[in-house]
Chain A
């Protein structure tokens, strides 16, 4: 089990933060890198989409969306048992229901390095799995709040955002917009049409991913100090939830008849937690939830676990399920 080179950059970032180095990537660079990664992942998937009939993908799209939606619903009672309040359980569930694009990128890089084929349009799964988990999380939070109100407890602050504004933020937010936009551009332009921009969007991808992981390492390292504040529960969630969700994702992949690599990718996607779209969406839609708790679990614990330990395990799982 050899660690992919990009993961070392993440570890370097965590180390830099833990030893209190003054290393800091400019915020504009972080923003640029994330835009690049989203567009590049979309484009790559779109080029592959142009080579096949889109109608055959409908079952995969629906299954991915359903998986994303169900994850927060299934996690909710479990998180409540860990003494999280309704808002926290719903918001944290939404982070796990939504997906991490970088976890996807690391998983596909690992598969490529091991010579395991995966469905080349897999970026489509990422794009459609971003939103359903967020919607489920928001619904759960509102349901939990209604229950509390009925019991006569504190109602918290007035609602700041309606469904229209939320749908706008989630569906036209940067992640989904860039992924879907990249997919469309790639599908419309095809392999030949995208050849002129290949030198920017396809070839340097892994180097950019390495740089982004360095930045994520810095952020995740900063979150590690917070783990102590939230105690054992956040560790149980951050380390315990991903493997269980990975098994669920892998089983869905097998049911869809995906390749070994495809099953591994879907396992990694199910196990991943969003740290770009979800925190912002939850801050707006479920402001009473503790944002620090969610980001600590998603980025401080689950993300490092997935890219260092989880993905190699999920690939082994996929191999054992598909052979």
Chain B
């Protein structure tokens, strides 16, 4: 049986204009890597189809220690959730090389 190690997967779905700021934020808080994809979708307030540049949405995934995920999430909520569309969620994941996250 292969050895697996528990980590937290933090997913942030938000407006694409925040990407640079988010990358800075997650690195400053100790995340070692991140993955960003362009997505589209909608919610209770609006539909964001990415029809023009400021309407684009990104999904950022960060695999990290639980306390790092907590620190990133609380910062993202405090700094951006008032004025931007923000979705944040966590899940437990298993990784094979724990020192990389």
Using a CB–CB distance below 8 Å, which chain A residues touch chain B?
Answer: 27, 156-158, 160-161, 218-219, 222, 275-276, 279-280, 282-284, 287-288, 291-292, 295, 299
Contact = CB atoms under 8 A, between A and B. Distances in A.
B95 interface: no
Interface string B32-69: 00000010000000100111111100000000000000
Given A157-B79, A157-B80, A158-B79, A218 B51 contact: yes
Interface string B14-41: 0101100100000000000000001000
Nearest to B51: A219
Q: Which of A157, A282, A288 has the most CB of B within 10 A?
A: A157
Q: Which of B15, B21, B55, B79 has the most chain A CB atoms inside 10 A of its CB?
A: B55
A27 B58 CA distance: 14
Contacts of B81: 157
Contacts of A282: 54
B91 interface: no
A279 B53 CA distance: 8
A161 B57 CA distance: 19
A24 B89 CA distance: 31
A299 B51 CA distance: 11
B51 A280 contact: no
Contact of B54 (A157, A222, A283): A283
Given A160-B21, A284-B17, A279 B52 contact: yes
Contacts of A280: 17, 53-54
Given A160-B21, A280-B17, A292-B46, A287 B83 contact: yes
27 contacts: A27-B50, A156-B83, A157-B79, A157-B81, A157-B83, A158-B79, A160-B18, A160-B21, A160-B79, A161-B21, A219-B51, A276-B52, A276-B53, A279-B52, A279-B53, A280-B17, A280-B53, A280-B54, A282-B54, A283-B17, A283-B54, A284-B17, A287-B83, A287-B84, A288-B82, A295-B55, A299-B52
Interface string B81-97: 11110000000000000
Nearest to A31: B53
Range class of the B interface residue count = 20 to 34
Q: Give the one of B38, B83, B84 with max A CB within 10 A.
A: B83
Contact of B82 (A156, A219, A299): A156
A279 B54 contact: yes
Contact of A157 (B49, B50, B82): B82
Contacts of B80: 157, 160, 287
Nearest to A275: B52
A7 B44 CA distance: 35
Given A160-B21, A283-B15, A287-B84, A295 B79 contact: no
Q: Which 8 A-B pairs have the closest CB atoms?
A: A279-B54, A287-B83, A157-B82, A219-B51, A283-B17, A280-B54, A283-B54, A157-B83
Given A280-B17, A284-B17, A292-B46, 12 more contacts: A27-B50, A156-B83, A158-B78, A160-B18, A219-B51, A275-B52, A276-B52, A279-B52, A279-B53, A283-B84, A295-B54, A299-B52
A282 B53 CA distance: 12
A291 B16 CA distance: 14
Contacts of A279: 52-55
A28 to B, nearest CB: 10
Nearest to B82: A157
A5 B84 CA distance: 39
Contacts of B52: 219, 275-276, 279, 295, 299
Nearest to B49: A222
Contacts of B46: 292
A276 B51 CA distance: 11
B39 to A, nearest CB: 12
B54 A291 contact: yes
Contacts of B18: 160
A219 to B, nearest CB: 5
